[in-house]
Amino acid sequence: MKHGRYPFIIGFLIVPVAIYGTFVIAAYVQAFQLSFTNWRGFSPDVSYIGFDNFVKLFQDSTFWKAIQHHILLLIFLPLLTIILALFFAFLLNVGGGSKGGRTRGVWGSKFYRVVFFFPQLLALALVAVIFSRVYSSDDSGLINGLLNQVGAGPVLFLADKNLALWSILAVLVWQAVGFYVVLFSAGMGSIPTEIYEAAALDGATRGTLFFKVTLPLLWNTLQVAWVYLGIAAFDAFALVNVMSVDRGGPDGATTVLGLEIYRNAFDYAQFGYASAMGVVLFFLTITFAALTLRVTRRDAIEL
Amino acid sequence: MTEIFKPEVDRRTLLRRAAAVGLLATPAVTMLSACVGGGSDDKDAAADKPAGTVSATNPLGIKEDEPLEILIFNGGLGTKYATDVDIPSYNKLFPNSKVTFNQAEEISTVVQPRFTAGNPPDMINNSGSKLMDQGALVQAGQVQELTDLFAAPSVDIAGKTVKDTLIPGTIEQGTFNDKPYVLNYAFTVFGLWYSGKLFKDNGWTVPTTWSDFTALLDKMKAKGITPFGYAGANAPYYMYTLLLTSAAKIGGADILKNIDNLEDGAWTNDAVKQAAAAWAEIGAKYSNKAFLGLKHTEVQLQQNQYKVGLYPSGSWLENEQAKDTPAGFDYQLMPVPSVTTADKLPVTALYAAAGEQYFVASKGKNPRGGMEFLRHMLSKAGAVGFTQLTKTLTVVAGATDGMEISAGLTSGNKALGAAGADTFSFRFDTWYKKLDDELRAATNELIYQGGTADKFVTRMQKAADAVKKDSSIQKFSR
């Protein structure tokens, strides 16, 4: 077995590693390099300006605004998505009570399972366009068309500073829930039914079943979901770019780091500055992932 | 086997991978901008000298068998004018120079990597929402100086140099620190557009004073029409051009010059404040806040459906809306009514400017050929063809005089004639894109979100001062 093992492994890995090295590692190194320059993107020569980009960045109010939005997303995107997904997954798998020794979902759960997954199948750009129509501020908007009928509209979902980010957050949650329903369903499926049966025999209600049985046994899956969603909260570029008023508006109320990087690089031709933002985003994401892994570390319950 | 499927190991690996996915966002920027430091930088010295023999038919001295590559933005103006008018004109004189025609909807995506790699197309139409920062291009030495082009004789207007055939101000519009680098080819007039039919059916007339203007808006409102509006989602630019037009009328064209030159107090000036206050009131009383969430095409469509009375835009509007405009709509332009009775400029004064940038890459393979191509665009035949195909005037003075092309074009042309020398424009929006973005947000706040003139001017002054102080941004002046 030992003989020829390394050529075998290398043979498998060489292509992906080469691709990863070129398109990820090399690009990273270059982003770090560019963040110390004032490169404007139109000539092959670059000049180094030390930490100027970073000094400027920390005085940039738009940057801090974007950070605030990430913090808000970081709290609410995982929280709302996980709560909703857990609720739905519980209903789909356990919510129907047990019959003949098997736990079941609510009536029609097979159908719902498919429906919940639909948003995941749509490209993010499509989701953004669809919701632009849903939120549209005049009669052509799905929601405002109805609200205007009863004289309650229009609600400026995307154009109101206080509503815009929440409206986009709602779309992010809508899009993500389906995937986590499936993830949690799989997790719940691996919980032995005997545990539920035993609990049910002891007279546990559905609520007790959920909090005392399902949730603790699902902890590892939750942890995965939290990190995934946290990283999604550091992105949100596509939705904001397509949906928001005046790209990241109104008045910067929905802007995110991804969008600011894009804007500085491709609109203002400040590639050096944009790279500095990218470097900051890199460290933010790494810090978040490391923190989450540390804080949520818990011994897995052996089944 | 047991080793591999130990769940704890598996999940933690998964988490690490999840972290890696998030990190992919960062290198995307450098990937998109291609490799830096890869191109060579050794052939710019030759760019300014004729490569071929100078003659009467070849005043720029292009090498007659050198191929030429042009790149045209495919947007509201289309690309037909280049393929059907300008390339044939160029090839008539230089049949041996093969022209490679390319078009793009996202100019910077297509061309920017080629600039960093050192093999740009020879002539580029830098336009559209993804246009490249022209100031940064000039700063990087990538743009060919056009002095020789403007001094060359016109292709088909006998006895005149190219410079003589242009509307005054054209060359200045493409000048960066006293040298001409960019040809702004399309000539646009800016004002309030309305339906001639709607006005005729209701017996409304074009107002010249502010009280007549608000009276007209009241009449429209009574009819159930939204009197005025612009699209806040992506076109606050139209609104601020209107607002600054009013400011220039109140205080004279120098108001705009001071803003361009980042003068101290250029925004907190009384004229700007008065214009902002006047338009804030119109926005609050005569518009629909829901427009803040709409895109320009949506509001323009509503005007075509006779649901919006007046719409601020440039003369490209008629062509842009061609397929949605009902028969007999009759696009007409009205200059912005005077805000006060003591305005420095008459009511006929207009925001009018050469726009739509065309430039030659100085480090391309055939910069002289690129300039020659521009000379053909600036011929009378080139200008007439462009106007016929795009319903947009060019900077070639009087090229289409006496031709009936469309109602809106005629109306714009008439307004331009009435304005005489009282035309003005600003350039800060292309010089300092950051200031443009700030102004968009500030305008939305002022008109649709209950902002005040004081807040507006203070905010803009602060933004302008910040740009002025920022040493990383190259400054321009006029």
- Tell me whether residue A238 is exposed, middle or buried, using C-beta atoms within 10 angstroms of its C-beta: 0 to 12, 13 to 18, 19 or more: middle
Tokens 């300008």, located at residue = B86
Inter-chain residue contact B115 with A268, CB threshold 8 Å: no
Considering only CB atoms, B434 lies closest to which of A28, A268, A274, namely A268
Measured in angstroms, the CA of B231 and the nearest CA of chain A are apart by: 10
Are residues B156 and B233 both part of a single domain?
A: no
Inter-chain residue contact B293 with A231, CB threshold 8 Å: no
Are residues B320 and B465 both part of a single domain?
A: yes
Residue B91 in any domain: the answer is: yes
Residue B6 in any domain: the answer is: no
Residue A49 in any domain: the answer is: no
Question: Is the distance from CB of B194 to CB of B411 less than 8 angstroms?
Answer: no
Residue B306, C-beta contacts closer than 8 angstroms, at least 6 positions apart? B195, B198, B225
Are residues B205 and B229 both part of a single domain?
A: yes
Looking at every residue in chain A, the average pLDDT score rounds to 85
Residue A8, C-beta contacts closer than 8 angstroms, at least 6 positions apart? none
Are residues B286 and B196 both part of a single domain?
A: yes
Q: Which residue range(s) make up the domain with B297?
A: 189-352+426-469
Lowest-confidence segment of A171-180, B22-31, B62-71 by average pLDDT: B22-31
pLDDT of residue B33: 47
Question: Is the distance from CB of B57 to CB of B97 less than 8 angstroms?
Answer: no
The domain that holds B255 is classified in CATH as 3.40.190.10
Inter-chain residue contact B142 with A135, CB threshold 8 Å: no
Give the CA angle between residues B393, B394, B399 to the nearest 5°: 85
Please tell me the total count of domains within chain A.
1
Residue A42 in any domain: the answer is: no
Give the CA angle between residues B99, B53, B122 to the nearest 5°: 30
Measured in angstroms, the CA of A90 and the nearest CA of chain B are apart by: 22
Distance CA B120, CA B43 (A): 13
Quick check: B23 pLDDT over 80?
A: no
Are residues B346 and B308 both part of a single domain?
A: yes
Amino acid A44 reads P
- B175 forms beta bridges with B180
Quick check: B402 pLDDT over 60?
A: yes
**Half-sphere CA count of B195, side-chain side, radius 13 A:** 24
Please tell me the total count of domains within chain B.
2
Considering only CB atoms, B18 lies closest to which of A56, A228, A246, namely A228
Amino acid B229 reads G
Residue A272 in any domain: the answer is: yes
Segment B29-57 mean pLDDT: 56
Size (chain A), residues = 303
**pLDDT tens sequence across B351-380:** 998 888 999 999 889 999 999 999 999 999
Residue A275 in any domain: the answer is: yes
Are residues B311 and B222 both part of a single domain?
A: yes
Distance CA B112, CA B255 (A): 35
Segment B243-264 mean pLDDT: 93
Residue A8 in any domain: the answer is: no
Are residues B233 and B163 both part of a single domain?
A: no
Residue A279 in any domain: the answer is: yes
Distance CA B277, CA B453 (A): 5
pLDDT of residue A190: 83
Are residues B317 and B379 both part of a single domain?
A: no
* B129 has a chain A CB within 8 A of its CB: no
- Write the CA distances from A24 to A39, A278, B20, B21, integer angstroms: 20, 13, 10, 11
Residue A303 in any domain: the answer is: no
Strands B226-228 and B308-314: parallel
Distance CA A159, CA B449 (A): 9
pLDDT of residue B371: 93
- Write the CA distances from A101 to A98, A185, B215, integer angstroms: 6, 19, 79
Question: Is the distance from CB of B253 to CB of B345 less than 8 angstroms?
Answer: yes
Segment B375-402 mean pLDDT: 88
Angle at which helix B270-286 crosses helix B453-469, to 10 degrees, equals 130
ipTM entry: 0.75
Segment A162-186 mean pLDDT: 91
Inter-chain residue contact B41 with A249, CB threshold 8 Å: no
Tokens of B94: 């230089």
Residue B249: name the closest of B275, B213, B216 by CA.
B275
Q: Chain B: residue nearest A297 by CA?
A: B12
Query: Rounded to a whole number, what is the largest CA-CA distance in chain B?
Result: 91
Grade residue A300 by pLDDT with cuts at 50, 70 and 90.
low
**pLDDT tens sequence across B268-299:** 999 999 999 999 999 999 998 889 888 888 89
Quick check: B89 pLDDT over 60?
A: yes
**pLDDT tens sequence across B151-173:** 999 998 888 999 999 988 888 88
Quick check: B194 pLDDT over 90?
A: yes
Are residues B282 and B335 both part of a single domain?
A: yes
The domain that holds A213 is classified in CATH as 1.10.3720.10
Give the CA angle between residues B380, B76, B206 to the nearest 5°: 85
Say how many CB pairs under 8 Å bridge A and B: 203
Are residues B156 and B221 both part of a single domain?
A: no
DSSP symbols for chain A: --TTHHHHHHHHHHHHHHHHIIIIIHHHHHHHHHTTB---SSSS---B-TTHHHHHHHT-HHHHHHHHHHHHHHHHHHHHHHHHHHHHHHHHHTTT-EETTEE--STTHHHHHHHHHHHHHS-HHHHHHHHHHHH-SSTTSHHHHHHHHTT-----TTTSHHHHHHHHHHHHHHHHHHHHHHHHHHHHHTS-HHHHHHHHHTT--HHHIIIIIIHHHTHHHHHHHHHHHHHHHTT-HHHHHHHSTTTT-STTTT--HHHHHHIIIIIS--HHHHHHHHHHHHHHHHHHHHHHHHHT--PPPP-
Are residues B259 and B129 both part of a single domain?
A: no
Residue A26 in any domain: the answer is: no
Are residues B79 and B202 both part of a single domain?
A: no
Q: Which residue range(s) make up the domain with A150?
A: 60-295
Inter-chain residue contact A267 with B133, CB threshold 8 Å: yes
* B460 has a chain A CB within 8 A of its CB: no
Q: Chain B: residue nearest A252 by CA?
A: B441
Measured in angstroms, the CA of B467 and the nearest CA of chain A are apart by: 12
* B134 has a chain A CB within 8 A of its CB: no
**pLDDT tens sequence across A48-64:** 888 888 998 898 888 99
Lowest-confidence segment of A164-173, B126-135, B359-368 by average pLDDT: B126-135
Distance CA B436, CA B26 (A): 26
Dihedral of the alpha carbons of B295, B297, B303, B306, in degrees to the nearest 10: -100
Quick check: A109 pLDDT over 80?
A: no
Residue B121, C-beta contacts closer than 8 angstroms, at least 6 positions apart? B69, B70, B71, B102, B111, B114, B361, B364
